[in-house]
Amino acid sequence: MAKKSPAVADSTRAKAQAMREAQVRKDRRMRAIIIGVVAVLVVAIVVAVVAVVAQQKNSQSQAQTGTSQSGDVSLLGDYASGQPVLVSHVGVGQKDDSLPTLTEYFDYSCHVCAAVDVAAGPDISQLAVGGSFNIAYQPVTTVGMDYEMPATSASLIVAQKDPSHWLDFHHALLSYFNDQFTSGNGTVIQDSDKSYAQVKTIAQEAGVSQDVIDALPLDIVTSYLKTTTSAWTSASFEGRDTSSFGTPEFVKDGKTVISLTSTTDKQAILSTITSGMASVSQ
C-alpha cells in the first residue's frame, strides 16, 4: 500500500483534530441545552407544587377561620348581631316571656367563670330547664386566651345546629378549661390549633353530631365578641361596682346585678342565684 506523504498525513491529522474539537463543542452545547431545559422543568415543577400547597393551605385556613363563601355573619346565623344563647323550659334558643331572665356574662377562657360553672353551672341550667327562669348565656371577652375563639365559635354553631347537645357541650367546654387552668397546664388553652382540635374532641364527647363537628371553624367570633363586650362594659346595671367588675357577671332582667358570695361553693352560688331571681323586678 502506498504510504501518505508527511504533508498529507499532517493535513489528515489536522482535519481529524478539528472534527474532534467541533464534536466536543457540539457535545458541550447539547449538554448545556439539556441542563437548561431540565432546570426550567425543575423550576416549573417547584412553582407548581408551591402553588398547590399554598392553595391547599389557603383553603384550610378559610375553612378554619370561617372566611369561606358563606362568610362570618351567615355562619353565626341568628347570633351574628351579638345575641346570647337562650335556655328555658321551652328549649335552647327559646324563652318564656312570662318568666324573668338571668343573663350570665362569661368568657370561655375565664378561670373564675369556669370555676363557678364547674361548681354550680349544670344546676343553674336545670333551674331554667325546669321552668324557674330563662337564662341568656352571653359570651364576652375578659381574658381572651387562645381557647376562647374556637370554643365560642363552636358553641354558637352547636346552639344553632344541634341545640339538644348544647348545654352538655357548653358545660364541658368550661370544665375542660377549669381542669387545664387548675392543673397549671396551659399547653392547649394557650395554643389556637390545639384548642381548636380539643374543642372538636369535647364536642364529640358531648354527643354533638359529626357533621356539625366537621364543619366547626377555628374563629368566626372576633367581630361578635367586640360587639358583645362593648355592650356589656358600657351597660349600667343596678348594683354594679363600676370601678371593678368582671366575669362571670349575673344580671336579672337586664337591670340588676346578682353578686355571688362564693365562686366555688355550690350551695352558696345556687342560694344567691335563686334568691336574686325570686326578688320582684320593677
pLDDT at 240: 97
Per-residue DSSP letters for 128-173?
Answer: HHTTS-EEEEEE--SS--TTHHHHHHHHHHHHHH-GGGHHHHHHHH
Q: Are residues 54 and 115 in the same domain?
A: no
| 182 and 50, same domain (yes or no) | no
Cβ proximity of 123 and 131 under 8 Å: no
Are residues 22 and 157 part of one domain? no
Number of residues in the chain: 282
CA 267 – CA 119 distance, rounded (Å): 9
What pLDDT shows up at residue 252?
98
For 120-148, the pLDDT digits (tens) are 999 999 999 999 999 999 999 999 999 99
Question: Which residues of the chain are modeled with pLDDT < 70?
Answer: 1-73, 280-282
Find cell 498529507 and name the residue: 8
What is the domain-level CATH number for residue 167?
Answer: 3.40.30.10
What domain count does the chain have? 2
d(CA 78, CA 252): 23
Q: What is the pLDDT of residue 279?
A: 76
- What is the predicted pLDDT for the residue at 164? 98
Residue 223 forms part of a structural domain: yes
Range of the domain at 145: 73-278
Q: What is the DSSP string of 182-240?
A: HHT--TTTT-HHHHHHHHHHHHHHTT--HHHHHT--S---HHHHHHHHHHHHT---BT-
Pair (273, 175) in one structural domain: yes
pLDDT the model gives residue 36? 59
In a domain, 158, yes or no: yes
